[in-house]
Structure formats: C-alpha cells, structure tokens
Amino acid sequence: MSWLGALFILCGSTWTGFYFAKKLTDRPRQLRQLKVALQTFEAEMMYGMSPLREISEKISRQLPIPVAYIFQCFSRRLKQGEKNAEEAWEYSLNETWPATAMHEQEKEIMRQFGATLGQHEKHQQQKHIRLAIIHLEKEEKEAIETQRKYEKMTKTLGFLAGLLLIILLI
C-alpha cells in the first residue's frame, strides 16, 4: 500500500513539473500567435476597411485558443454596444488573460495597444500596431531564452522533488 502512495506522490510531482514546463513552452508560441494577430489586424485595417468588430471576429476564427479568446471577447463587447473600443479591449484582456501563458509585461503592451484603438487615423494606428509588434518580438526572444534555460530543469525538478518527498516519508 505504501508503494501505491509513493507512486501517487511521484506521479503528482512529476506532473507538476511538466505543467510548469508546458507554460514555459506555451508562452513563446502564444506570443507568436499574438504577433500574427496584430499583423492581420494591421492588414485588415489598412486594406480591408472593416470595422474593429469584424476584424476582431475574423482574427478570432483564425487563431488557436486561448489567444483567439482575446479577440472573440473584444468583438462580442463591441457587438453588445460598447461605445469605447479602449474599454472593450481592457475588459477583454482582463477577462481572458488568465487563460494564457503570457505574463504581465505582454498584457501591458497589449493594454497600451488597446488605448490607441479607434482614436487615430489609419497610418497613425499602423505605427502603434508596429510598435506593439516590436515590443512583443522582444518579449518573445526573452520567453524563448527562459524556456531554453528552465524547461528541462522544471521537469527534472518535479520528478526529483517527488523522490525527495518519498524518501523523507519512508
């Protein structure tokens, strides 16, 4: 019976290590998806002449979850009659951000991007989008470096923590 408990402890701690490693892996991927979304946003705004609600809806259909949720929620808020795009964007970020693997720095970049939505003419808006993309690229490089440093260590640490706990309990 004690071996079964030890096996549960080892599996649980190993799973925890893999869970945190997955977050490290998901962050750069989600940042790339967010950059693609902003590039699509820019193209649609410049050449498609579509309203923000339609652009966001289209982007949400193209992206994988959880990044798609941000644009889906934004589109839904605008559809419900939210007059201010900045407030709708802020609400969307606050509502959907916990489902992502991204950090507060990226949220702040997206918050600053949202503060400019619908308040400038097309070329000025394009500059804000490109600025957000540049900041996201910097964060992506840092996320990739963090992933390289800590992903394997996190997995190993989860397993070794389980072994240590079993040894202490025996």
Tens digit of pLDDT for each residue in 93-135?
A: 888 888 888 888 988 898 888 888 777 677 788 888 898 899 9
Report yes or no: 111 and 34 within 8 Å, Cβ to Cβ: no
Would you place residue 15 in the very low, low, confident or very high pLDDT band (cuts 50, 70, 90)? very high
Mean pLDDT of 145-162: 89
Structural domain spans, the chain: 13-169
At residue 29 the predicted structure's pLDDT band, cuts being 50, 70 and 90, is very high
Query: Taking residues 49-76, what's their average pLDDT?
Result: 86
CA 62 – CA 53 distance, rounded (Å): 15
Q: Which residue has the higher pLDDT, 45 or 132?
A: 132
pLDDT at 169: 82
Using 50, 70 and 90 to split pLDDT, how confident is the model at 45? confident
Cα–Cα distance list, 150 to 20, 23, 102, 153, 157 (Å):
10, 11, 16, 5, 10
Here the tokens at position 78 are 């605008």
